[in-house]
Every structure is written in structure tokens, then in C-alpha cells.
Amino acid sequence: MKPQYLLIPGLLLLGACSAQTKEATASVPTLKDAFDGKFLIGGAINTRLVDGLDPKGDSIVSLHFNTIVAENCMKSEKINPAEGVYDWDDADKFVKYGLDRGMKVIGHTLVWHSQLAPWFPLGADGKYVSADVMKERLRNHIHTVVGRYKGKIHGWDVVNEAILDDGTYRKSPFYEILGEEFIPLAFQYAHEADPDAELYLNDYSMASPAKRDTYVKLINDLRSRGLRIDAIGMQAHMGMDYPDFDEFEKSLVAFGDTGVKVMLTEWDMSALPTVNTGANISDTTAYNAMLNPYPDGLPENISREWNARMEHVMDMCLAHADIVTRVNAWGTDDSMSWKNGWPVAGRTEYPLLFDRNHNLKPFLKKYLPQE
């Protein structure tokens, strides 16, 4: 007997086979069908979901996504907490989760200044190690992590957030010790460890013209050295008043013009007031109310505006589907987004593709195949 799929808004439940349910169970329109042949669609998932502690999240991921990325479990502080020590538990389960569902599994991230294992750049004296030692550590880390998942991970965010908004290099430990060379080295090591894996540069604020220019130079430099780089990840953390969509699109096109593909890798859009740290409000209660104005649900007019902005971005991706190969939300449903805790803790945010009841956001409905 074939299992039947019961349609509940935004959710798929396995149910018993019966004559009644048969009639009510046409195939469910899914996001992965909607964008089939255009680009992959997916989200970042956390260990709660992989461990079965978020069954509704699991349902939407399994039904709608054909790609997933590790939200935290592959970052160096987690996966390589001490020199020569690797903690594979969560990463192994994450990779298996995706492969069991036939998904393209994305690794995030090999080289990042944040959530960097504290030991990584430091010697026994607590000072930065030499360039030679750092190269060896970088090589070991990348070879070990990429090597373990050779043939299983579709693509890696090799270097994350290396460039500042003004187009200069971030003064990370990698940069301080190895200079600009840490980027080509990381790409070389990743390719050595898995020649078939796609390799990406990933960053936020990609609408910045200065950042765009530096990334274009960087891609051209990597390519002129014969190094593999497949795509630029535009993180796409957005809000109600940023980014400038025209500048964002210019960057998307400029990256595509270099010959690499483009991915929206960490897409979310805050529906809350953008935090202005200079706000002159001395009453903390008033300040908190201003910053967290919709704890009980998004007002209709704000929801409409948010959906229109998201639709604009999705339409942009579709218009450039020759360049855009993956659209990836940074999370699954609103309740688990990092935006509930940043830049202000304890806000009720609405940034993702699914709401707290695991229903698809309205703007997505127009893309779904019609029944």
C-alpha cells in the first residue's frame, strides 16, 4: 500500500491509506517544483531539526527544499575545537540527513574569522603563529574536513566574510598572518581535498559598490591563477529599508559577468525597524516597544510590504536564472531565525520563507505550480 499525503497548509503528514484520503490527496505543490530548472531552493538547518526535535521543520525541509546548508555545525570552533581534534557528530548527521533526502548538501564554512576555534591562529605563547605554521594548520583543517565529506558535499563556502563594506580586506587572523594569500591557499587546499566539490566565496552587504569591485578583482585573480571558484554567495540578509535593490542587482550581474555563478546563500528579510544605535530614547520600555513592535503577529500592511519586497528579490533571481544557481534562506521558519536574537535579543522577527505555523509566506504562492 502506498502512503498517502495529507495536505495541511504548509505541511505534509504521512497518513493511512483510505478511500476518503485518496480523493483529497493530489500532489502537493512544492517550492522545489516551483523553481525546478531555474535554481536550487533551500535553507540553513540546525542540529535540533536534524536530531528530530523540530518535526514540523523537518516536514517543510523534506517537502520543499532540494538543498540544505549547515547553520553552525561545520564552523571551526565546533568541528575542530582543538588542534588535531575533530567533533564529527553533528556534521555527520547533517550530511546524512541531506543525502538521505536526495538533497545537494552545502558545507559552511571553512575559513571564517567568527566562530573560529580559538587555538587556530595562536601559538603556545598566546601570540599569532608564523605564516608557515598557519599555512599548515589551514591545510590540515581544510584537507581533513573536506576530505571526510569528499563526494558527499556538493559545494563549500570556502572563505566567508573576508572583505569589509569599504572594499578592504577584513583584518582577520587569517589576513594578519598570511595576508591576501590566505584566500587562494584556502581554495587550493579545498580543491585538493575534493576536486569535484564546488567552491564558493560568501559575504554580506554585497550591494556595496566597493565590496563588489573587490570581489570582482578577487574572482578574476583566483581564475587567472587557475584555481577553481564556482560561485559567489551573496548572503542577502535584508531589511525593510536595505539593501538598495538596484545596487544588489548590479553586483549580481557584475559577479556573473566574471564567469562564475551567483547564489543567494543566507536570504532573510527583517520585518522590524532597522536598529539605529544612535536613537535618542531614554525610556527603555519605549525603546524596547519601538524595536519589538509586533510580538503578537505582523500587521497586515507591514506583511504586505514585506511580501512585496521578498517577491521583488525572488523575481530578480528568476530574471537572472542563467546566473543564479541556488536560493537559500538562512533558516526554515520564523521561530528559529537568528534574527530573533540579533541585533537585539528577544525580538519577534518574521524574516523567513515559512511563518511560525510553518505555512508558506504569501509571496511564494504565485510561484507554485497550479494544481
Q: Which residues of the chain form contacts with ligand G3I (CB under 6 A)?
A: 71-72, 114-115, 160, 235, 266, 338
For the bound state, the minimum distance from the C-beta of residue 87 to ligand G3I, rounded and expressed in Å, comes to 12
- Residue 215 or 367: the one with the smaller Cβ distance to ligand G3I is 215
Rounded to the nearest 10°, the torsion over CA 298, 263, 172, 142 is 120
Cis peptide before 351 (omega within 30 of 0): no
Task: Give Cβ neighbours of residue 86 (< 8 Å, ≥ 6 apart).
Answer: 79, 80, 144, 145, 148
- Residue 198 or 266: the one with the smaller Cβ distance to ligand G3I is 266
Task: Give Cβ neighbours of residue 105 (< 8 Å, ≥ 6 apart).
Answer: 67, 68, 69, 94, 95, 98, 99, 149, 152, 153, 154
For the bound state, the minimum distance from the C-beta of residue 146 to ligand G3I, rounded and expressed in Å, comes to 18
- Residue 27 or 115: the one with the smaller Cβ distance to ligand G3I is 115
- Residue 78 or 212: the one with the smaller Cβ distance to ligand G3I is 78
List the one residue out of 309, 307, 366 whose CA is nearest residue 31: 366
What 3-state class would DSSP assign to 280?
Answer: coil
Which set of grid coordinates corresponds to residue 337?
531565525
List the one residue out of 238, 202, 254 whose CA is nearest residue 311: 238
Give the burial class of 6: count Cβ atoms within 10 A of its Cβ; 0-12 exposed, 13-18 middle, 19 or more buried: middle
Catalytic positions are: 161, 266
For the bound state, the minimum distance from the C-beta of residue 337 to ligand G3I, rounded and expressed in Å, comes to 8
For the bound state, the minimum distance from the C-beta of residue 309 to ligand G3I, rounded and expressed in Å, comes to 19
Note whether 293 and 356 are within 8 A (CB).
Answer: no
For the bound state, the minimum distance from the C-beta of residue 7 to ligand G3I, rounded and expressed in Å, comes to 31
Q: Which residue is nearest to ligand G3I (CB)?
A: 338
- Residue 28 or 236: the one with the smaller Cβ distance to ligand G3I is 236
